């Protein structure tokens, strides 16, 4: 039953304990390497790789399960046939001036400038730069004109492709960041959202959409009690500005009072930044006079 279950699993799905059990079947139980590999649905090269790791573990005293765990694959280096970075920057500049041009027109312009790049190389450069469609090139042109960050131009699908270049294509994040013109910090943010969405079984594209930043309350913002103290003084002295208000707070409450900047922020949040606003607000806050009861003298 164990062998049938192993046959349905790919090589990477075998846990370190299963791999150790495979080695024990060969070296302790005397099962041939071919039969053991066939039972666990792995190649002989993979078996000998695990055997070498286990023998090195015995010499170094490493934990037996740790030596058989999956190791991070080596990152792919940039292709030797990739066009120079300077040429890619020239292509980016051509797109900024002529967003309607495709790879053939750009290739013709490069030949006119005596830059030797093939049409296929131009197409690959546009793909790496996230400029491989007319819509992306037009958005890039408009973003430069309006000084908009390049990350805002990319849709959720575009961002997912960038993340997959790092995860599945094993391209270094610094190279992907340089190609698409997005900072590494932004890419790390998208990478974290992508991984969390996969872990929680949520929509990946929804996780990569733009989010509106909402802050309910800043860490050093005035508390509700401090705002009440400021508004109480404003009600009695609406002509005072932030300096007089801050001084009055220190006289009444000492070190726990707000500074000048804190008082100014409280006034702005309550639309009391000007003297006229404070006077109008104070007039509304005054309680109406109580009419005397009948027979009162």
Last residue of a domain, one of 122, 145, 168: 145
Q: Which of 16-25, 47-56, 217-226 has the lowest mean pLDDT?
A: 217-226
Position 151 pLDDT exceeds 80:
no
Q: Is 78 a member of any domain? A: no
pLDDT of residue 94: 92
Q: Are residues 199 and 165 in the same domain?
A: yes
Q: Is 237 a member of any domain? A: yes
Q: Are residues 272 and 244 in the same domain?
A: yes
Residue 155 corresponds to which tokens in the numbers above? 């849709």
Position 170 pLDDT exceeds 50:
yes
What average pLDDT does the segment 271-292 reach? 74
Q: Is 219 a member of any domain? A: no
pLDDT of residue 27: 85
Position 216 pLDDT exceeds 70:
no
Q: Is 74 a member of any domain? A: no
pLDDT digits (tens, 9 = 90+) for 222-244: 788 888 888 888 888 889 988 88
Q: Is 217 a member of any domain? A: no
What average pLDDT does the segment 171-178 reach? 84
pLDDT digits (tens, 9 = 90+) for 116-127: 889 999 999 898
- Side-chain half-sphere exposure of 77, counting CA atoms within 13 A: 3
Q: Are residues 58 and 100 in the same domain?
A: no
Domain count, the chain: 4
pLDDT digits (tens, 9 = 90+) for 53-89: 777 766 666 666 666 666 655 555 555 667 888 898 8
What average pLDDT does the segment 153-158 reach? 83
pLDDT of residue 66: 66
pLDDT of residue 110: 92
What average pLDDT does the segment 8-24 reach? 69
Last residue of a domain, one of 128, 145, 162: 145
Q: Containing domain of residue 109, as a range?
A: 85-145
Q: Is 104 a member of any domain? A: yes
Q: Is 195 a member of any domain? A: yes
Last residue of a domain, one of 99, 127, 145: 145
pLDDT of residue 130: 81
pLDDT digits (tens, 9 = 90+) for 91-114: 989 998 999 999 999 999 999 998
Q: Is 7 a member of any domain? A: no
DSSP assignment string, the chain:
-HHHHHHTS-GGGS-HHHHHHHHHHHHTS---HHHHHHHHT--HHHHHHHHHHHHHHHHHT--TTGGGS--PPPPPPPPTTSPPHHHHHHHHHHHHH-TT--HHHHHHHHHHTT----HHHHHHHHHHTT--SHHHHHHHHHHHHHT--GGGG--HHHHHHHHHHHHTS---HHHHHHHHT--HHHHHHHHHHHHHHHHTT--HHHHTS------SS-TTPPPHHHHHHHHHHHHH-TT--HHHHHHHHHHHHGGGS--HHHHHHHHHHTT--SHHHHHHHHHHHSPPPPPPPTT--
Report the mean per-residue pLDDT for the chain. 79
The percentage of residues in the chain with a pLDDT greater than 90, rounded to a whole number, is 9
């Amino acid at each position: 039953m164990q062998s049938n279950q192993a046959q349905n699993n790919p090589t990477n799905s075998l846990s370190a304990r299963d791999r150790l059990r495979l080695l024990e079947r060969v070296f302790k139980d005397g099962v041939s390497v071919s039969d053991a590999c066939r039972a666990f649905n792995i190649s002989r090269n993979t078996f000998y790789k695990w055997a070498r790791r286990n023998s090195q573990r015995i010499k170094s005293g490493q934990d037996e399960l740790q030596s058989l765990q999956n190791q991070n694959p080596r990152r792919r280096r940039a292709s030797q046939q990739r066009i120079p970075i300077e040429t890619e920057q020239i292509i980016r500049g051509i797109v900024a001036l002529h967003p309607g041009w495709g790879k053939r027109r750009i290739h013709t312009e490069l030949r006119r400038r005596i830059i030797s790049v093939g049409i296929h190389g131009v197409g690959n450069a546009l793909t790496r730069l996230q400029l491989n469609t007319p819509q992306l090139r037009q958005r890039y042109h408009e973003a430069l004109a309006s000084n908009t960050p390049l990350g805002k131009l990319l849709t959720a699908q575009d961002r997912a492709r960038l993340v997959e270049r790092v995860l599945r294509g094993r391209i270094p994040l610094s190279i992907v960041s340089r190609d698409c013109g997005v900072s590494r910090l932004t890419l790390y943010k998208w990478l974290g959202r992508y991984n969390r969405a996969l872990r929680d079984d949520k929509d990946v594209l929804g996780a990569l959409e733009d989010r509106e930043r909402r802050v309910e309350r800043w860490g050093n913002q005035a508390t509700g009690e401090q705002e009440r103290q400021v508004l109480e003084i404003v009600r009695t002295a609406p002509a005072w500005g932030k300096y007089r208000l801050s001084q009055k707070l220190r006289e009444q409450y000492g070190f726990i009072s707000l500074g000048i900047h804190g008082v100014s922020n409280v006034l702005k949040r309550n639309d009391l930044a000007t003297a006229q606003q404070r006077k109008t607000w104070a007039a509304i806050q005054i309680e109406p006079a109580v009419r005397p009861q009948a027979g009162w003298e």
